[in-house]
Chains A and B, each alone.
Chain A
């Protein structure tokens, strides 16, 4: 889409995925977002930076995606300034804007000014991501009154759940308004695992930041590390060897397979089918053990390093992965047949937690859950960066939008990822696995976008002087999908919530930062 139609002057950005940037006034920002939305554009991420030390006030950064690639719009404001509320165009922007205020103290002009990540652990008039922020030891956690929306009527009652959940799950708070067993409304309250990741980045050397990126969300360590690496490498002007890129894709597909296997087991279990959990948790463990033997880490943490990957794969390891793929493909097919034929399981999966394609589009549902509701985007297919340009990923999708569809997409994606793993180990190009990364020029911004197993993971990195990190924003697709879960549960019964929730399997840590 041509940005000059909106009165903007754009410039290309060095990036693995086609990207451009433009400065925009508040009015231009609104018009551009609206115009791109009308053409099917999506909001990828939104964040603020403090540029007062450069006499540039505060900047709002909005990243949009359309068929051509990414568009970064930057809007500069003075202290006390406001920016236009974008949630009227992209509903997913609402929580991002509230979180941006909690951390930077610059608000949009929208109605919902409730805090989002702030839970009274620091004074409400202190903003951690400002450059002059100084943390005080003496701050004691305060009390917080959060204005939940209440449903009133005969027989309506409220069920509060969390932050400590009844299973081995990350913490978050859910407020259900129910009548009998039927859920009238769910409201989420997140932020509990906010541990200051973005601020922590700013105290790290830029090369070390990749380890922190790999711990934004433990189940997506490869996706985050790769996205961070893309951003860093574009700043440093490093050309990553082809073999390293192929190995990164190998890691990413193995991460996808392991997570999907785990989810399929728990989805069976949540439908009362313990057999499924036993089978899939065994298959997942096999994958993790191969990871440990091949890459030195079960979850593949720190396998991606700036400039390439930490370890090469030899012919014996390649053969082990080939055999593993064949065995897994066979076993997954058998258990899929059992899931498909099992009346009890299908009764729980079908028509449960439905998100129609129309609703998914309106709310901006993305990633795996989006593909189960007719939203076709997959960064590996739509913007195929090496090696995906050669591998030709088959896009998986479904229209059902229910738990059954999200299960089907996982099964299909496992099959495709197994094919990709085999193709990668068969055709792995020769050459080095790592390029040297020299010094990084200051005040450069780089981006990374990687299709993780949950959806597109985005990283925006700005370098500071002396190979430091000036600002790093990591964005999880859970930001887009958490609000949709609130809609998916409506009119379902409370006991189906764990199943519906698991079928999305969203990140708390990746969202809370």
Chain B
């Protein structure tokens, strides 16, 4: 126990200040101030990998590390779309995943913000559209915010997620 406490004390607090929202990532502004009052900054995100190479997932995982400490901002990842305010979708949407993605979207309660994370989710990326890929997420469900990058860094992801909820306040 003592070693654990010593290690915690020695590592110290690593959390950095959160970046500002990146308004340029906002695709659609459709939310009202009232919605933000409801959500506050206690945002619940359901992440959906719709066909990604897993690179974006690695960086989404990094949001939980002590440096970015996304939970400290009141944002958490939840296990069910029923509990989610936002879907964070990665990958070109594989044809195999299209139905699952639509069902996840349908199961998410309004206002169900959708953030497309990564070059593939934004525009199909290197995989594009094919017999097996439907390309960008917006080809399957409506997208509010698009975060470019291959993969986007944790900072870019935070900027995009924050843009989705602060833009709504204006």
Which A residues form the contact surface with B (CB < 8 A)?
119, 121-122, 128, 133, 135, 139, 141, 163-164, 166-171, 191-197, 199-200, 211-212, 215-219, 221, 262, 275, 277-279, 281-282, 284-285, 288, 292, 298-299, 301, 334-335, 337-338, 341, 507-509, 512
A168 with B57: CB separation less than 8 A: yes
* Interchain CB contact under 8 A, B4 and A281: no
Find chain A residues with CB under 8 A from B54 CB: 170, 217-219, 507-509
User: In angstroms, how far is the closest chain A Cβ from the Cβ of B1?
Assistant: 9
Residues of B within 8 A of A216 (CB): 53
Do A119 and B96 form a contact, CB below 8 Å, given A211-B126, A219-B55, A509-B52? yes
**B100 interface residue per 8 A CB criterion:** yes
Per the bound structure, the CA–CA distance linking A114 and B80 in Å amounts to 31
Compute how far the CA of A361 lies from the CA of B92 in the bound complex, rounded to whole angstroms: 37
Whether A218 touches B47, Cβ cut-off 8 Å, given contacts A168-B60, A285-B62, A334-B7, is no
The answer to whether A338 touches B61 (Cβ under 8 A) is no
Question: A221 CA to B57 CA in the complex, in Å?
Answer: 14
**What sequence of 0s and 1s flags, for each residue 58-97 of chain B, a beta carbon within 8 Å of any chain A beta carbon?**
1111101111000000000101110000000001101111
Contact B52 A128 (CB under 8 A): no
Asked whether A218 lies within 8 Å of B127 as measured between CB atoms, the reply is no
Nearest 9 pairs of A and B residues by beta carbon: A218-B55, A196-B132, A121-B95, A281-B65, A166-B79, A135-B131, A218-B53, A218-B54, A196-B130
5 intermolecular pairs with C-beta atoms under 8 Å apart: A163-B97, A166-B80, A168-B61, A192-B51, A508-B54
Minimal Cβ-Cβ distance residue in A for B91: A193
Q: Given that A196-B133, A279-B7 are contacting pairs, would A167 and B53 also be in contact in the complex, using a CB cutoff of 8 Å? A: no
Q: What residues on B are CB-neighbors of A335 within 8 Å? A: 7
What is the distance, in angstroms, from A1's C-beta to the closest C-beta of chain B? Answer: 37
A-B contacts at CB below 8 angstroms, number: 159
A286 to B96, CA, bound (A): 36
Contact partner, B65, options A171, A211, A284, Cβ 8 Å: A284
A195 touches B7 (CB 8 A): no
Q: Which of A196, A277, A292, A508 has the most CB atoms of chain B within a 10 A radius of its CB?
A: A196
Inside 8 A of A218's CB, which chain B residues have their CB?
52-58, 151
B80 lies within 8 A of A281 (CB): no
Cβ-defined contact, B94 with A193, below 8 A:
yes
Q: In residues 23-67 of chain B, which contact A (Cβ within 8 Å)?
A: 47-62, 64-67
A191 and B66: CB pair below 8 A? no
* A191: min CB distance to chain B, Å: 6
Q: With an 8 A cutoff between CB atoms, is B8 at the interface? A: yes
Q: Within 8 Å of chain A (Cβ to Cβ): is B104?
A: yes
| Chain A residues with CB below 8 A from B14, complex form | 282
Nearest CB of A to B5, in Å: 10
Q: A166 CA to B49 CA in the complex, in Å?
A: 11
Is A282 in contact with B65, judged by CB distance below 8 angstroms? yes
B69 to A: closest C-beta gap in Å = 10
Bound CA–CA A166/B64 (angstroms): 16
Q: How far is the CA of A410 from the CA of B64 in the complex (A)?
A: 22
Do A285 and B65 touch across chains, with their CB atoms under 8 A apart? yes
Q: Which of the residues B56, B61, B94 comes within 8 Å of A262, measured between beta carbons? A: B61
Q: Are B128 and A200 in contact (CB under 8 A)?
A: yes
Which residues in A have their C-beta under 8 angstroms from that of B9?
A: none
Are A281 and B64 in touch, CB under 8 angstroms? yes
Chain A residues with Cβ below 8 Å from B48 are 164
**Known pairs A301-B150, A334-B3, A335-B7; A282 contacts B67 (CB<8 A):** yes
Whether A299 lies near B58 (C-beta < 8 A) is yes
List A contacts of B49 (CB < 8 A).
168-171, 193
Complex Cα spacing A234 to B49, Å: 35
The contact string, 1 if C-beta is below 8 Å from chain A, for chain B 150-170, is 110100000000000000000
With A168-B57, A171-B97, A194-B132 in contact, do A338 and B51 touch (Cβ < 8 Å)? no
A168-B47, A509-B53 known; A191-B96 Cβ under 8 A: yes
CB distance from A168 to the nearest CB of B (A): 5
How near does chain A come to B76, taking the closest CB pair, in angstroms? 12
> What B residues does A279 contact at CB under 8 A?
7, 11
Bound Cα distance A430, B129 (Å): 44
Would you call B127 and A200 a contact (CB within 8 A)? yes
A48 to B33 Cα, complex, angstroms: 57
The reply on B18 being an interface residue by CB < 8 A is no
| Cα(A196)–Cα(B77), bound, Å | 29
The smallest C-beta distance from A282 to any residue of chain B, in angstroms, reads 5
Chain A residues near B79: list those with CB within 8 A.
166-167
Tell me the smallest distance from the CB of B79 to a CB of chain A, in Å. Answer: 4
Q: Encode contact with A along B6-20: 1 for CB under 8 Å, 0 otherwise.
A: 011001001000000
Task: Flag if A199 contacts B132 (CB, 8 Å).
Answer: yes
In the complex, what residue of chain A is closest to B7 when comparing beta carbons?
Answer: A334
Q: Does B141 make an interface contact (CB < 8 A)?
A: no
B59, A298: Cβ atoms closer than 8 Å? yes
B114-131 to A contact mask, C-beta < 8 Å, 1/0: 000000000001111011
A285 near B8 with CB under 8 A, answer no
Most buried by A among B4, B48, B65, B99: B65
Kindly state the separation between the CA atoms of A52 and B135 in the bound complex, as whole angstroms.
31
Nearest CB on A from B17, distance (A):
16
- Interface centre among B8, B94, B104, B130, by most A CB within 10 Å? B94
Is B58 within 8 A of A262, CB to CB? Answer: yes
**Which A residues lie within 8 Å of B77 (CB)?**
167-168
Among B14, B52, B54: residue with most chain A CB under 10 A: B54
Closest-CB distance, A278 to chain B (whole angstroms)? 6
Q: Pick the most buried of B8, B127, B132: most chain A CB atoms within 10 A of its CB.
A: B132
Partner of B131, one of A170, A196, A338: A196
Nearest-neighbor residue (CB-CB) of B14 within chain A: A282
Could you tell me if A288 and B62 are in contact, using CB atoms closer than 8 angstroms?
yes
Residues of B within 8 A of A262 (CB): 58, 61
Q: Within the complex, which residue of B57, B96, B127, B150 is in contact with A197, where a contact is CB–CB below 8 Å?
A: B127
Task: Report if A170-B52 is in contact (Cβ < 8 Å); known contacts: A119-B96, A193-B91, A218-B151.
Answer: yes
- Nearest B residue (CB) for A192: B96
CB distance from A432 to the nearest CB of B (A): 27
Give Cα A169–Cα B46 distance, bound, in whole angstroms.
Answer: 11
How many Å lie between the Cα of A221 and that of B59 in the bound state?
14
Chain B residues whose CB sits within 8 angstroms of the CB of A288 once the complex forms:
62
